[in-house]
Amino acid sequence: MASSSSNSKTSSKVFVSFREENIGNNFVTHLYAALNHAGIYYFDIQRREKDEGNLMITVPKMIEESDLAIIIFSENNAYSRLCLEEVVKIMECKKQKDLKVFPVFYRVELGRVSGLKGSYRTGIEYFQKKLNKDVRKLMRWKDALQEAGSLSGWDLDD
């Protein structure tokens, strides 16, 4: 049986979903530094697109182990299968285990994500052509984007 002390510091686990090529490392590096300074554990996933096959296996487990998820929506997230799957898993965990979810709209208009407009519409259309027989997957992605995009979050331009 685990025990806890009143002096022990309980640390939350945070999963950060982002598309590295859109936001660069500066923003995420600062975010990770702030989480680290606050004593908050975060899952550090770098080189996202290069290891996508392996990450499709490990990322869902990381999300399940998290207490909080930060989704950084940027211009071309909907063109990344990994980003779309992360949003689906995050929203599933929000419903099933009360995962706290905080969206950040980084240089993207708030209504584009929830309304599937602009690059979010064309990204889904891109996958519609590639996955024309997997309508269920496309609907899961659309639903998760619309739901996550309508959550209260932060609008960051720089």
Does the residue 49 lie in any domain? yes
Q: What is the pLDDT of residues 43-86, one digit of tens each?
A: 877 644 455 666 677 888 999 999 999 999 998 899 999 899 99
Look at the chain and count its residues. 158
Q: Structural domain of residue 141, as residue ranges?
A: 13-156
Both tokens assigned to 105: 């709209």
Q: What is the pLDDT of residues 91-137, one digit of tens each?
A: 999 999 999 999 999 888 888 999 999 999 999 999 988 887 788 99
Does the residue 8 lie in any domain? no
> What's the confidence (pLDDT) of residue 25?
61
> What's the confidence (pLDDT) of residue 42?
87
- Clarify whether 86 is annotated catalytic: yes
Q: What is the pLDDT of residues 80-92, one digit of tens each?
A: 998 999 999 999 9
Looking at residue 16, its amino acid is V
How many separate domains does the chain show? 1
Does the residue 1 lie in any domain? no
Q: Read off the pLDDT band of 3 (50, 70, 90).
A: very low
Q: What is the pLDDT of residues 12-23, one digit of tens each?
A: 899 999 887 756
Does the residue 6 lie in any domain? no
Does the residue 137 lie in any domain? yes
| Active-site annotation holder among 21, 86, 109, 147 | 86
Name the strands in the sheet holding 100-106, side by side, starting at the edge strand that comes first in the sequence.
41-43, 13-17, 68-73, 100-106, 154-156
Which CATH number do you get for residue 140?
Answer: 3.40.50.10140
Beta-strand ranges (E) seen in 3-121 are 13-17, 41-43, 68-73, 100-106
